[in-house]
Structure 1
Amino acid sequence: MNHRIQGKTILITGASRGLGEQIAYKCAENGANLILTARSMDKLEKIKDIIVDKYGVQVATYRLDVGDRFELEERMDTIIEQNRTIDVLVNNAGFGKFKYLVDTSIEEAEEMFRVNVLGLITVTKKVLPTMMNQKSGHVINIASQAGKLATPKSSIYAATKGAVIKFSDSIRMEVQKNNIFVTTINPGPIHTNFFDIADETGKYLQHVGRWGLDPELLAEKIVMRMFVQTREINLPKLMNFGSILHALFPNVVEKLGKRAFNKK
């Protein structure tokens, strides 16, 4: 149990499925109250019913399209006004499309940046003043190993996740004096429906199956680190070791890993 989050209020974006849904269950299991947001209210309400029935915590749900800047700003103002306290923010909403750059439209690239980067920045900017007034808080940004080690067919997605990591590194120093923690989660492939959109061929998870992460286990690791000063969570460990080697010896890693990197 993570007793640090018992009775705390946790806002999760992209909470209607996948990792976000699993984080919601684990937070509720540890006694936290929840603010769940996503584009699908039907799915959010079903998750809310399960959580309230099983754990008896408070759950508020809001429709939130992180890629729509004007709706996002207005809806975030409403969320903050109606809830007052937000102790932990989990910026989970995001998506990717694995394509070669020449096959990627500018519209697709723009949408990935709107959701993965600008949406995340907007939500964080809206929530931080509340945490600063409280003199406590924890911002958890779901990035990716792709943000540390880019591979073919992920140029735009990797660029967005690299931006999330650097954004997190900067604001971590900005808000440290306010007793606010900032953590990036850098997972490899997760066994969720993320790949329904990301991989049109349906073969990527087959190729990297042994690296695939269980979303429930990953969610548990994330929740157990809430309100613990943690810079990053990097999984799987062997894949992260590859990212470290790439930072030190990029040419060698790209040459030796060429075959594996092209398995999207």
Structure 2
Amino acid sequence: MELNIKSKNVLVTGAAKGIGRGIALAAASEGANIALHYQTSEKEALETKRLIEQHGVKVVMVKGDLSSLEEVQEMKASIGRELGSVDAIVNNAGWAQFKPFFQYEPGEWQREVDICFHGVLHLAYTFIPDMINKNNGKFINIVGDSARTGDRNLIVSAAARGGTISFIKSLSQEVGRNNIQCNTVSLGLIDQGQTYDQATFAKIIKQYPLKRLGKVDDITGCILLLLSSWSDWITGQVVSINGGQSMIN
């Protein structure tokens, strides 16, 4: 099935490793050029760049703190010099502290809000005007299911990402007339090498009807669909990839 993303310029944030790396490699395998964003994981980003280059596409590494509008704008300038304008964004970047709310010190929650919420606004504000001018584009924002269901140990990041779900829905209404599709992908727990004791793992797995954690490859197919021309009439949606763990709209 032809996805029609060959030679498209796709920005993948948080792409140095894990889910972001998998998405970047999947898009590159379909012929997309990749703007590979990272913030601190330079060694891993260089390895991801090497793997992407094996697909014969263009790739540029861009370092930036998404909580800073100025740094996101610098990212855009760097990508523009190397690749040209961005055709699609997959925002995989985020940051969370795993603890109950009342263990926070005052103001300690600010960075989670700045990255998980303001970072999405900064990406949209910086990159979508070019998509409007071209009358074409895709914006995909990835969140964890805690953004929809809540989680007492991810309370701040869940709230911030919940806000992005509303933002993406509203944004899809604003830019739909410009043939830009904006969607959210909501993830259950993905196996990225975490270690659990046997009792904890059994308790986690019990929540999943499919009786396993997700894999990176479980995500990439959906992302490729949303990047492709096959999703041109899908916008403002929250697509769940969670092994059936939470069955809500």
TM-score interval w.r.t. the shorter chain?
0.7 to 0.9
- Residues 118 and 213 of structure 1: is their aligned pair in 2 closer, same or farther, counting only changes over 3 Å? same
- The Cα RMSD (Å) is 2.4
Cross-structure match for 1:238: 244
Aligned counterpart, 1:41? 42
TM-score, scaled relative to structure 1: 0.82
Distance (whole Å) between structure 1 residues aligned to residue 225 and residue 33 of structure 2: 15
Instruction: Give the % identical residues.
Output: 24
- TM-score relative to the length of structure 2: 0.86
Unaligned runs of 5+ in 2: 206-210
Q: CA deviation at 1:189?
A: 1.1
1:232 maps to a residue whose letter is V
Tell me: CA distance 1:108–1:191, structure 2 relative to 1, closer, same or farther (3 Å): farther
| Distance in 1 between residues matched to 2:175 and 2:2, nearest whole Å | 23
1:11 matched to 2:11? The reply is: yes
The separation in 1 between residues aligned to 2:212 and 2:175, in whole angstroms, is: 34
Contact 1:205 1:212 (C-alpha < 8 Å) held by counterparts: no
In 2, are the aligned partners of 1:213 and 1:236 still within 8 Å (CA)?
A: yes
Q: Give the helix-richer structure, 1 or 2.
A: 1
Using the TM superposition, give the Cα deviation of residue 146 of structure 1 relative to its aligned residue in structure 2, in angstroms. 1.0
Q: Is 1:2–1:223's contact at 8 Å kept on the other side of the alignment?
A: no
The alpha carbon displacement at 1:163 in A equals: 0.8
SS at match of 1:94: coil
SS of match in other structure, 1:221: helix
The 3-state SS of whatever aligns with 2:85 is coil
- AA aligned to 2:148 is K
Q: Greater shift after overlay, 163-172 or 207-216?
A: 207-216
Q: 2:204 aligns with which of 208, 212, 225?
A: 208
Contact 1:188 1:211 in 2 (8 A): no
Runs of 4+ in 1 over 6 A off after TM superposition: 201-204
CA offset at residue 101 of structure 1? 0.6
Secondary structure of 1:143 counterpart: strand
Residue 224 of structure 1 deviates from its aligned partner by: 2.5
Judge conservation of contact 1:189–1:211 (CA < 8 Å) in 2: no
The count of aligned residue pairs is 238
Give 1:217 deviation, angstroms: 2.0
Paired residues of 2:60 and 2:79 also in contact (CA < 8 A): no
Describe the shift of the 1:169–1:45 C-alpha distance in structure 2 as closer, same or farther (beyond 3 A). Answer: same
